[in-house]
Chains A and B, each alone.
Chain A
């Protein structure tokens, strides 16, 4: 483990330089240990590290490092029962323009790719990047496909993708270089929902082909496993402040 300042108001705790079970376990232990600590403004977990943003008026880096070491000594909490979330996906065609390429690269038929992809159970290692992007572990090794050499300028919202040995879902339209094999209509980030993020660290994900999802009750299953709050709608006042804002493009900053 190395602990060092990332800035004058943050500390970077690194447990390793690759994706490994023990370093990821340390990440979850530290996330749990620091939950609710006063003066910590934000925690950024990743595969093998946690970045801690703190209020420099409340902590020095040395004090924060001491706190980190103390909290890592605490006994690990029993693993909570992970939430199971089914994500309905329409594979191939317009929704998954790279499915054929993944099939070619892996030597499988497109149906074979979908079959293996949907047979696996994925774990949300962490959520980050830009707005609720879930980094998923559990992609079957035979489906690993390199990223595009030139990223797309605009990946549609809900795109389900393979990037090297990782799988992920784009919560918002954004640029991206992963291979798009399908698309979900489930919103991973919904500003109208409370809370807006759907997935969190530790969730277990299954991808369900759309036809089965609607016919076979995959969505209902997912809803049952979600906490009640997620489905609450927002008070009227709040909705008025959010008219289709997120679809707007960012005004360009000009001189």
Chain B
């Protein structure tokens, strides 16, 4: 089987697809690509189904060596590979594709025509870093098998989709009524303690009715406020239930922006309706369907 070898692993490089669904009632969140939009686009560009497994790099990229000529794409942020982004391209046998520190956002995806063919665990190839379900972060010397699951011809490119840099758009969360609008009044900074479980924010403390509610389910993108008043955005490896109140939830169309947030980035929040959120999602989907 054709393979790609990890020459150097970068900071946190993992195999991801769109996630492992159907296990939340065992406390296991979906995991999957932190910027699912970039992963889907990369897969479509190389001619894969959008859910094919690919490689996610975080802040500091990896170096890869290919056993045979193969079509690949790099999507998400610019990790300084010196190659075109958001387009299909061919790499040659024995060639090394070297990514470095991020030049823009937190994550970059390497999609390979045919997909990364690691065994699926509980229905998904994605790595849940915290639990080890699906594997572990990649190390130097790891060999990743390349599958043969391409479904159509590669597409050259469709341009680079703007990420957007305004406020993160949110809809009301289940406890929105228990909060004043402090969340919308000032900017927050992404803390160094952020990871795939949660994006911890630092800024003006928000008065939280924490401690008064029964444990309940928590969705991806929920903004929860623990007693210290510093909000946490639940991310792809989030806890499935929690007892902290949630004033807001980031909209699906902005999940890709969460995946690109880096420590020390500043964020503000803007409230939209569910209808607006779904319209924005539809625009994003249309861009993908155009690939």
How close is B207's CB to chain A, nearest CB, in angstroms?
A: 20
How close is B30's CB to chain A, nearest CB, in angstroms?
A: 7
Does A229 reach chain B (CB closer than 8 Å)?
no
Q: Are A8 and B278 in contact (CB under 8 A)?
A: yes
How close is A34's CB to chain B, nearest CB, in angstroms?
A: 10
Binds A, one of B73-81, B127-135, B155-163, B179-187: B127-135
Chain B residues within an 8 Å CB radius of A61: 274
From residue 38 to 52 of chain A, which have CB atoms closer than 8 A to chain B?
41-51
Q: State in angstroms the CA–CA spacing of A201 and B157 once bound together.
A: 48
Contacts A6-B174, A8-B249 known; A44 to B221 CB distance under 8 Å? Answer: no
**Cβ contact of B135, chosen from A53, A200, A245, cutoff 8 A:** A245
Q: Are B222 and A19 in contact (CB under 8 A)?
A: no
Chain B residues within an 8 Å CB radius of A4: 174
Chain B residues within an 8 Å CB radius of A48: 214, 216
Q: State in angstroms the CA–CA spacing of A135 and B239 once bound together.
A: 14
Q: Are A6 and B219 in contact (CB under 8 A)?
A: yes
Contacts A19-B214, A51-B217 known; A250 to B27 CB distance under 8 Å? Answer: no
Q: Are B21 and A42 in contact (CB under 8 A)?
A: yes
Q: State in angstroms the CA–CA spacing of A86 and B291 once bound together.
A: 54
Chain A residues within an 8 Å CB radius of B90: none
How many A residues, CB 8 Å from partner?
A: 62
Q: Are A253 and B25 in contact (CB under 8 A)?
A: no
Q: Are A51 and B216 in contact (CB under 8 A)?
A: yes
Bitwise, A198-214 to B at CB < 8 A (1) or not (0) is 00110000000000000
How close is B62's CB to chain A, nearest CB, in angstroms?
A: 13
Q: State in angstroms the CA–CA spacing of A223 and B183 once bound together.
A: 50
Bitwise, B208-246 to A at CB < 8 A (1) or not (0) is 000001111111111000000000000000011110001
Q: State in angstroms the CA–CA spacing of A248 and B139 once bound together.
A: 13
Chain A residues within an 8 Å CB radius of B30: 41-42
Q: Are B174 and A41 in contact (CB under 8 A)?
A: no
Chain A residues within an 8 Å CB radius of B135: 241-242, 245
Bitwise, A127-143 to B at CB < 8 A (1) or not (0) is 11111110100000000
Q: Are A196 and B133 in contact (CB under 8 A)?
A: yes
Q: Are B28 and A238 in contact (CB under 8 A)?
A: no
By beta carbon, the residue of chain A nearest B142 is A241
Q: Are A127 and B27 in contact (CB under 8 A)?
A: yes
**Cβ contact of A44, chosen from B58, B194, B240, cutoff 8 A:** B240
Q: Are A9 and B219 in contact (CB under 8 A)?
A: yes
Chain B residues within an 8 Å CB radius of A126: 25, 241
A residues sitting closer than 8 Å to B (CB atoms) are 4-10, 12, 14, 17-19, 31, 41-51, 53, 56-57, 61, 126-133, 135, 171-172, 189, 191, 195-197, 200-201, 235, 237-238, 241-243, 245-248, 250-255
B residues sitting closer than 8 Å to A (CB atoms) are 11-12, 21-30, 58-59, 106, 118-119, 121-122, 129-137, 171-174, 192-195, 197, 213-222, 239-242, 246, 249-252, 262-264, 274, 277-278, 281, 285
Ranked 6 nearest A-B pairs via Cβ: A51-B217, A44-B217, A246-B132, A245-B136, A128-B241, A42-B24
